[in-house]
Amino acid sequence: MFGFLTLRFLIAIPTIILISIFVFSLQHLLPGDPILVMAGEERDPEVIAALREKYRLNDPLPVQYMAWARAALQGDLGISLRTQQPVLELIAEKLPVTIQLAVMALVIAMLIGIPAGVLAAYKKGTWIDWLANLVALSGLSVPNFWLGIMLILLVSVRLGWLPASGYQPLSEDPLQSIKTMLMPAFVLGTAIAATLMRHTRSAMLSVLKADYIRTARAKGLPERTVLFVHALRNAMIPVVTVTTLIFGELLAGAVLTEQIFTIPGFGKLVVDAVFNRDYAVVQGIVLCTGIAFILMNIVADMAYRILNPRLRDG
């Protein structure tokens, strides 16, 4: 396992370098000269020259990149123009909020998606399977920001059951925190539930055809034991892998969900940064999500090896 992990990390290095080059080059897509914007309306040539020197814009591009990458490696992703806080500090501050939202969304998605997938596979070809597939496809087709708006209208405005927006830290008031996060987590979890349902169904369908399931049935085991102990446990191997890879989808979904429910997390930070032209924050976020996604890929590979004895022993 150690050898496998070392190899995976080594393979990840060039990818991380490429992500950093991409993130670095994003600022060169900006129309016009950013220094002219920073210099204000007066555009004093001395100020412009000083700013060019400060941001090393007179250096060749590879030199600029190396300086930027060196700083990034030391955790310096720049300073937010809006809050004047270091970008990494800002990300670290907002991340726990999004993690809470993502974890709650994932729990909701698993509670809906996995049983629905098992049922659809077990009842393959019946109206239950057809209905589960249609619901899953609908879940994938609903824009989550619209679902959020509609739920606010129904659950908060009309019925008054849950708050429409806001955030309460988990450490301060756990119950209120869960209550405020419930609707956003449901919105974010819907599309994930649909993805999980489809993967569980497909994994269960191939497992249910396996010889050991026929043997289990032939031994006279109750159908529930066959389904949940023998079949589901094996079908979960690819599902667990997919779940770790859903991380990217969760982060992307959080951008819109946090915007609608005014949750001060990672997603809202991206949008606010975009509108405030806080490019260092946008770059920092893309870099951090990219690296986190690569790490999650490694976790998914490890989970697959741990859960699958054939790979573990090999």
Residues 184-223 interacting with other proteins (rule: CB under 8 A): none
Spell 46-56 as b/e; 16+ CB within 10 A means b.
eebeebeeebe
Of 9 and 228, nearer to other proteins (C-beta) is: 9
Of 90 and 251, nearer to other proteins (C-beta) is: 251
- Which one of 1-9, 29-37, 47-55, 81-89 is the stretch in contact with other proteins (CB under 8 A)? 29-37
Residue 308 gets the label, from left (phi > 0), alpha (psi -120 to 50) or beta, of beta
Selected from 48, 260, 269, 280, the binder of other proteins by CB under 8 A is 260
Number of residues near other proteins (by CB under 8 A): 49
Q: Interface with other proteins includes 286 (CB under 8 A)? A: yes
Q: Interface with other proteins includes 38 (CB under 8 A)? A: no
Selected from 59, 89, 93, 249, the binder of other proteins by CB under 8 A is 249
Selected from 4, 8, 15, 95, the binder of other proteins by CB under 8 A is 15
Rounded distance between C-alpha atoms, residue 166 and residue 176, angstroms? 10
Report the SS3 class of residue 79.
Answer: strand
Residues forming a β-bridge with 32: none
Phi, psi of 57 (to 5 degrees): -75, -10
Residues forming a β-bridge with 79: 86
Q: Interface with other proteins includes 178 (CB under 8 A)? A: no
Rounded distance between C-alpha atoms, residue 220 and residue 115, angstroms? 23
Residues forming a β-bridge with 86: 79
Helix-then-strand count for the chain, H and E: 15, 0
- Minimum distance of other proteins from residue 285's CB (angstroms): 7
Q: Give me the residues that bind other proteins (CB under 8 A), please.
A: 14-16, 18-19, 22, 26-27, 29-31, 137-138, 140-143, 145-147, 149-150, 152-153, 157, 248-249, 251-253, 255-256, 259-260, 270-271, 274-275, 279, 282-283, 285-286, 289-291, 293-294, 297
